[in-house]
Amino acid sequence: MVKLYETVMAQFDQAADLMELDPEIRKILSYTTNEIVVNFPVVMDDGCIQMFTGYRVQHNNVLGPYKGGLRFHPQVDIDEVRALAAWMTWKTAIAGIPYGGAKGGIEMRPWDHSPAELEAITRRFTFALGANIGPEYDIPAPDVNTNPQIMAWILDTYLQMMPPLERNRATHVVTGKPVESGGSPGRYKATGQGLVDVLEVWAKDYGFALDGATYIIQGYGNVGSWAARLLEPLGPVLVGVEDHSGALLNPEGFDPDELAQYVDAEGRIQGYPAGAAVDHRTFFGTEADFFVPAALENQITAETAPWLNVRLVVEGANGPTDCDGDRILQERGILLIPDVLANAGGVIVSYFEWLQNKRSEFWDLEETDIRLKKQIVGAYHRVRDAVERYDCSWRTGAYIVALARLEQVYKERGIFP
């Protein structure tokens, strides 16, 4: 299996070659800055101790504080976190927000733990990270299998470690918090909202009719389910969905809200009555207008890319397409809107949450949604301009936007000493 960080570097090299990125800056951006690995003990409900391994990789902070989510998943390892951290650096640069890139997580099976154990694991991980995170330094957020509740525990633990005098100045140490604990309205759905905003403007520009279009989604968690719910009013029909429990097809179309309620209650799509169960291969081969991978990385590969029967892929997940997958999609004329643009809505609204906390402000949902749309459509236009100028794929165009911004800042500042 190709290492995920090698995928990032192959994508990076393609863009760096095409734009003729300064070779000195290329050296810097090929490395992560800090890699923190912590092993920590947690007392389980039965009184026994279990050891956990957690990671925080800080890729780059030349544009602002390190920023990126934390995931709880058995697949988390240093290679995955490195790759995800680098993608955050590109994503925040493309989005035009003053952040660098980081990512972290714990190698664990969250579904095997009670709420009390999850809380203890989260708090102990936050304690272990200590001063490696901070409101002006490195700001975590939700990702796979983490949520506002987990962010509230991180916040609370971090604040306990601070002198009382400073606690109210530090609520922006983490974003994606529950609204009552300083979160932003609209953050919860923001990644799906941003994906829909980008798809809508892309569809308009390229004459792709969304009303009546059919689509399939892989992953019905935060990103997938919100994308589906927010696409509903624009008229596309969700004809297939897959998650870790299996795949379902329904040519008549699923009701995205009802399916989301089912998944909230059951934790999986399996058993949802309004669809026929199919295997992975059949799901991938479903004839539809577009596909939204919104689960994990390495899903569209040399094996699966030839199966796809769609015109467009919109990446809700980070890294769902590997380099072979990318090449095959291009050869087959299947268009792709890349993760670092399509799923940037989450970190954009994280930035809004951070601003609100710093300024003791509270924006309403309408204001957040308007600002998100403006920010992500701005990013879309920057990427579209690069795609036209360099006559390249949207992934390479997106990288060029990010790398050009980072290159400019390095040149302005120089390298210490």
Separation CA 175–CA 351 (nearest Å): 8
Least Cβ distance, residue 246 to ligand GLU (angstroms): 25
User: Which tokens hold the place of 368?
Assistant: 């957040």
Residue 194 host element (H or E) = helix 190-205
Least Cβ distance, residue 396 to ligand GLU (angstroms): 20
Separation CA 78–CA 26 (nearest Å): 22
Least Cβ distance, residue 48 to ligand GLU (angstroms): 32
Between β-strands 237-243 and 214-218, what pairing exists: parallel, antiparallel or unpaired?
parallel
User: Which tokens hold the place of 303?
Assistant: 């094996």
What are 60's strand-pairing partners? 101
List C-alpha distances in Å: 215 to 189, 250, 271, 386.
19, 11, 21, 27
Nearer to ligand GLU, 36 or 141 (CB): 141
Nearer to ligand GLU, 256 or 346 (CB): 346
User: Which tokens hold the place of 118?
Assistant: 């999850």
Separation CA 231–CA 211 (nearest Å): 10
- Tokens 């905003």 appear where? 197
Separation CA 266–CA 244 (nearest Å): 13
Q: What is the SS3 assignment for 304?
A: coil
Nearer to ligand GLU, 103 or 229 (CB): 103
Cis, peptide link before residue 417, omega less than 30° from 0:
yes
Q: What distance, in Å, lies between the first and last C-alpha atoms of the chain?
A: 40
Q: List residues binding ligand GLU (CB under 6 A).
A: 67-69, 91, 141, 143, 175-176, 318, 343, 346-347, 350
Name every residue whose Cβ is closer than 8 Å to that of residue 373 and which is 6 or more positions away in sequence: 197
Least Cβ distance, residue 346 to ligand GLU (angstroms): 4
The one-letter amino acid code at 118 reads: L
Least Cβ distance, residue 357 to ligand GLU (angstroms): 13
Nearer to ligand GLU, 192 or 285 (CB): 192
Least Cβ distance, residue 153 to ligand GLU (angstroms): 17
Identify the active-site residue in 3, 67, 91, 103.
103
Q: Which residue's beta carbon is nearest to the bound ligand GLU?
A: 69
Nearer to ligand GLU, 318 or 393 (CB): 318
Q: What is the SS3 assignment for 182?
A: coil
Nearer to ligand GLU, 248 or 342 (CB): 342
Name every residue whose Cβ is closer than 8 Å to that of residue 284 and which is 6 or more positions away in sequence: 304, 307, 308
**HSE-up of 355 (CA within 13 Å, CB side)?**
14
Cβ atoms within 10 Å, residue 43: 12
Least Cβ distance, residue 402 to ligand GLU (angstroms): 14
Does 103 participate in catalysis according to the annotation? yes
Nearer to ligand GLU, 176 or 285 (CB): 176
Residue positions annotated with a catalytic role: 103
